[in-house]
Amino acid sequence: MANNRVDAVVGDIIEAVRNVLDKHDVTFPEYRAAVAFLAQYNGAAPYEIPLGLDMFFNATIHDIEMKNRKGSVTALEGPYFRDEAPAVKDRLKVLEGKGEPMIIEGTITDLSGEPLDGAELWIWHSDPDGFYSGFVPYMPEADYYRGVLKTGPDGAYSVRTSVPAPYTIPHDGPSGALLEAMGRHPWRPAHIHFKVRHPKVLDHITQSYFQGGSYVDDDCVEGVRPDLIHTMDERDGVKVLHKDFVLDPA
């Protein structure tokens, strides 16, 4: 069954690609090389196609989404979210004796500044070596550096964890080979992932980055936006990331 939306979008993609081929006088050998490159996704790891698209276009869809939102800036969810994260009150499980302690705190409100009581906030991030629990043998359960907490009537939250690290996206398949051929690297800046759900507001998915951190200006998936870069404070010798959420109505 024909779909006008598909026709409009794909038709424009085809037109845009034709213009690029023409602009660069792409030859038959180059065209065949591109087809052979795409064929490598057959038999590649199942995440390679989502990865290859997300690294160039996921952040763009967030930018488009923000045209219709007035609240806090959204950003990519990434592949390491786990819905069934451990319920936490004020701290995430961390690998003891590793990394630098950090507190993440803030408030969750609607656009008018009204605190959201009972908002669910998922927080997840890498360990101090850049790996996610549930994805490496030394953290087989998806429980370290993850949690979901619930706000009270004041909409506030505060959770203790440790500072994450930059990491590389998977780059041993065709998507990584493409980055390399383009002279790009596979690194992402250190970041914290957040997801907020509350019946009164639109689901909110975002990331926070650290001012001055490696790759903040050169994220391989081009996901950093100015509003998402935070300066860390320090309280009693512990780093503090202040992150407020102002959320659009559902």
Residue 78 binds Fe ion, judged by CB under 5 A? yes
Which span sits near Fe ion by CB under 5 A: 30-38, 70-78, 105-113, 215-223? 70-78
Instruction: Please say which residue, 26 or 136, places its beta carbon nearer to Fe ion.
Output: 136
Mapping DSSP onto H, E and C, the string for the chain reads: CCCHHHHHHHHHHHHHHHHHHHHCCCCHHHHHHHHHHHHCCCCCCCCHHHHHHHHHHHHHHHHHHHCCCCCCCCCCCCCCCCCCCCECCCECECCCCCCCEEEEEEEEEECCCCECCCCEEEEEECCCCCCCCCCECCECCCCECEEEEECCCCCEEEEEEECCCCEECCCCCHHHHHHHHCCCCCEECCEEEEEEECCCECCEEEEEEECCCCCCCCCCCCCCCHHHEECCEEECCEEEEECCEEECEC
Which span sits near Fe ion by CB under 5 A: 47-55, 78-86, 198-206, 242-250? 78-86
Largest CA distance in the chain: 64
> Least separation, in Å, of the C-beta of 134 and Fe ion?
13
Which span sits near Fe ion by CB under 5 A: 1-9, 57-65, 71-79, 108-116? 71-79
> Least separation, in Å, of the C-beta of 82 and Fe ion?
12
Instruction: Please say which residue, 173 or 189, places its beta carbon nearer to Fe ion.
Output: 189
Which span sits near Fe ion by CB under 5 A: 76-84, 139-147, 150-158, 236-244? 76-84
> Least separation, in Å, of the C-beta of 176 and Fe ion?
16
Count of residues interacting with Fe ion (CB under 5 A): 1
> Least separation, in Å, of the C-beta of 50 and Fe ion?
14
> Least separation, in Å, of the C-beta of 23 and Fe ion?
35
Instruction: Please say which residue, 52 or 78, places its beta carbon nearer to Fe ion.
Output: 78
Instruction: Please say which residue, 116 or 224, places its beta carbon nearer to Fe ion.
Output: 224
Nearest to 133 by CA among 145, 122, 147, 121: 145
Which residue's CB atom is positioned nearest to Fe ion? 78
> Least separation, in Å, of the C-beta of 78 and Fe ion?
4
| Residues forming the site for Fe ion (CB under 5 A) | 78
